[in-house]
Structure 1
């Protein structure tokens, strides 16, 4: 045919062959569309991802037949110069599936302005929903779409990149922008920190998979969005931690605890820190380069990391407050009992939580000795 084109481009035989080729490609395009539409169940990203693994790429018979049919049609159309028509059909069908799946996962395309106007009672359920959606979207939806594109367009890496990015990028950006927008809300308070740590931890745990799935140059915006969201979540956590420390410093209740029992401030701070320590990996990263400014330096040899030092400082801050609240007791023995009970509560909380891993056994031993000292003064006052 190429020789005929060179010799006589207006040849009837050439025109006939071209028309025949066009008809054949139209039929293939229709068949490609039919296979995509009629095998939606087998070609759903979740189905593809569940039936595959990165190393073996094994599929069920139905999956394999449909995917192989698509691959054969795509190979034929691409090799004969009809790649654009093939890719357009593929993108139209697959984008609708991605959009529908994200909608079913309650992923909304919310702007920063919309999120900032939300009350926390509305935003918090959306964060919970996002936490579930993020895992499913990355490990099922986007992973499955990537496997399918790799298989169908295996003859052209450029087509894999262009089609996959075009199909998934808009939805991925909407999904991964949500934490950044949420982290910019104006009314951040210490009680909200754990939801933001949940999002940080989820994104951090998914980051390697996201990088692997969206490794194309054209998907750089997706990777950048994830990095930006992690950074803004870290900023929000540091802001709320600073507010938490400030709230402790400003706590000024005068009520004496009957019988020298545990003060509500001690319970609140230690319960908060115990929960915080459950996110030890995340806060270790978030607090890593956050400078701690304290009136007097803490002993360096006791604390192995910035997060350990900060938690030790918060506990010290709390214990200083408790020392001040012991002063109004007229009975000296009762004041020592108050100090012993509160410090014992702190030590028990540290010993029974991840705080022990952060502060170390030496910290526990040191403060247990102080509890015994307070108890001694109580008995002999």
Structure 2
């Protein structure tokens, strides 16, 4: 049966069917997105030869009519949308697909008619030119549709796992030092998945548009629209993170309070952009353009390099600026976030054409480390060279002491980063002014511990020099006692500082300020207590001479106490416990001696000769070290 049917079909008709099938096969092959340019040219040549076959010439007119009819329908679809000026992407995926099918039909018509040698048929030539014009209109429209989709359907958000904990540390201003603001960023590395930067339902539409435009030799126009829109979106993300695009000159001209805020914004932008947005951007490029070979990675580079260079540009300005000590914490934040994200950066820019960005970020990390070391050195030199021409009048805690302790306490939050940066940094641990006194501590092992103890040795040497400016020997001891006690309290009150300095350091410093307290008592009250000595008095004897001497001693002692009172009520001991301890020590050493003296001479000194009782003086010692000079009230009115 099959043989009879086959025999009924003329051989020429069979050949015609085979040629038509071959024609459709070649057209289908040209639709492949992975087809190279050489392969397309070969297929076009085969189509031309196929249509030149004598058997198909008689069908050319019929074929042309069919093609022109399809072309007219597709042209109407395209021009109707052009006349409406509405955006196709807003009409739903079905309308988008209808429009793209019309564009594909136009392109097919051009390819087919172009292979039929239109030189013999004027009408056919005009039809091809008309189809070319319609295709150009469609390509321009699709380019606008790409911009519309990327503009209207973009998504912007900050992942919750990239939140920040902000702290503000105010360091007391000390002569050449300024206040410090700091933001500490969560240090543990957190992996964040890429997210859709375009609404998911529009991604298939973009892919379809890309396929049509690339197959129509308008891939460059698609990339131009896609890259331009995504680059602008990335700049908007940076602006939303308050990352301004400033020139190096503008950054160098910023005042510190403004610059510190910009550093904070840079840290946040660096963490979110390199850890989330660029990853998502690369994912979007791959979703849309991966089937077109290396174009996806080239598009990602064009989209991201401007923002990456903006981040690098800011960093370059920072490392070019002066090494002011208060900048150190901002720089350490920058170092932390960059070191944390360097793996992301290496992955994002792994292609050879992106290598310059990888190299720039690695070089920048090294530059930040160098800047941090130079800035810390500037801080140390500032502590050492902080000289005073005027004495610190009341013996309280010097601003330099509070500044240095707060500075080191803040540094402890960056222990890991500091130890990495200063791992190979040598410390001159023996501070010359203290080395001569044999006051050098055992060298610790951690870079932060070494540098912190070294700084405090420098600070203590500086404080001793400042104490020399004080005229009263007793006030020198009060000044040193206050500042050393402040250092100890800071260390004891902070776990990070206590871990840095250790209990042995605390014990040694407590011994130092206790020794200063003892020296203060000796310097203040030795002369007054000498007055009460009984070298010229024999127990049991009560003569006119001894009574006179006893009364004179009592009066002289009270005068000496008054002088101390007027002066030392104006001195300051900020620590309440230390102030109370010294008041008690004064009472035990001085008032007890005065009470014993009065008891021994109770028959020699009448009440009218006793200006202050021991209880009076004990009460008066409570006024010492309050920071406000006082005058003693009249004795009689005091006893009423």
Q: TM-score, normalised by structure 1?
A: 0.79
Distance 1:49 1:325 in 2: 52
Look up the match of 1:43: 154
Look up the match of 2:498: 356
Return closer, same or farther for 1:273/1:4 CA change in 2, 3 Å cut-off. closer
The structure whose residues are more often helix, as a share, is 1
Look up the match of 2:536: none
Look up the match of 1:214: 349
CA contact (8 A) 1:49 1:144 kept: no
The answer as to 2:250 corresponding to 1:153 is no
Look up the match of 2:100: none
Give the gaps of 5 or more residues in structure 2: 1-25, 27-41, 52-59, 64-110, 116-127, 161-189, 524-640
The answer as to 2:336 corresponding to 1:201 is yes
1:324 paired residue among 455, 458, 465: 465
Look up the match of 2:112: 15
Distance 2:318 2:396 in 1: 39
Give the gaps of 5 or more residues in structure 1: none
Q: Displacement, 1:292?
A: 2.4
Q: Displacement, 1:241?
A: 2.0
Distance 2:320 2:406 in 1: 26
CA contact (8 A) 2:248 2:317 kept: yes
Q: Displacement, 1:164?
A: 0.4
Look up the match of 2:383: 248
Return closer, same or farther for 1:315/1:31 CA change in 2, 3 Å cut-off. same
Q: Displacement, 1:124?
A: 4.3
Look up the match of 1:269: 404
Return closer, same or farther for 1:363/1:142 CA change in 2, 3 Å cut-off. same
Look up the match of 1:303: 444
Q: Deviations over 1:57-101 (max 9, x none)?
A: 6769x8222123323444566678765454333223322322344
Q: TM-score, normalised by structure 2?
A: 0.50
Return closer, same or farther for 1:218/1:54 CA change in 2, 3 Å cut-off. farther
CA contact (8 A) 1:116 1:182 kept: yes
Q: How many pairs were matched up?
A: 376
Q: Displacement, 1:344?
A: 1.5
Moved more, 31-40 or 88-97: 31-40
Distance 1:143 1:41 in 2: 21
Q: Displacement, 1:207?
A: 3.1
CA contact (8 A) 1:77 1:86 kept: yes
The answer as to 2:224 corresponding to 1:88 is yes
The answer as to 2:233 corresponding to 1:233 is no
The answer as to 2:238 corresponding to 1:102 is yes
Q: Displacement, 1:165?
A: 0.4
CA contact (8 A) 2:196 2:280 kept: no
Distance 1:183 1:119 in 2: 16
SS at match of 2:199: helix
SS at match of 1:251: coil
SS at match of 2:291: coil
What pairs up with 1:120-131 in 2 under 5 angstroms? 120=256, 123-131=259-267
Q: Deviations over 1:177-222 (max 9, x none)?
A: 211212202x432233333333333433433333333333322232
CA contact (8 A) 1:177 1:229 kept: no
CA contact (8 A) 2:194 2:279 kept: no
1:192 paired residue among 327, 331, 334: 327
Distance 1:254 1:137 in 2: 50
Return closer, same or farther for 1:218/1:269 CA change in 2, 3 Å cut-off. same
Q: Deviations over 1:246-282 (max 9, x none)?
A: 2222222254445543223222222222233333233
Look up the match of 1:137: 273
Q: Deviations over 1:31-78 (max 9, x none)?
A: 57525523534434x35979xx98976769x82221233234445666
2:319 paired residue among 162, 183, 186: 183
Q: Displacement, 1:314?
A: 0.7
Return closer, same or farther for 1:351/1:154 CA change in 2, 3 Å cut-off. farther
Look up the match of 1:224: 359
SS at match of 1:278: helix
Distance 1:65 1:373 in 2: 78
Distance 1:167 1:284 in 2: 36
Distance 1:65 1:326 in 2: 75
SS at match of 2:499: helix
Q: Deviations over 1:336-356 (max 9, x none)?
A: 443332112112222334333
Look up the match of 1:64: 200
Distance 1:55 1:89 in 2: 28
Q: Displacement, 1:121?
A: 5.7
Look up the match of 2:487: 346
Distance 1:72 1:120 in 2: 51
1:287 paired residue among 408, 413, 422: 422
Q: Deviations over 1:348-371 (max 9, x none)?
A: 222334333333444334433444
Distance 1:209 1:37 in 2: 30
SS at match of 1:350: helix
Distance 1:54 1:41 in 2: 29
Q: Which has the larger radius of gyration?
A: 2
CA contact (8 A) 1:32 1:70 kept: no
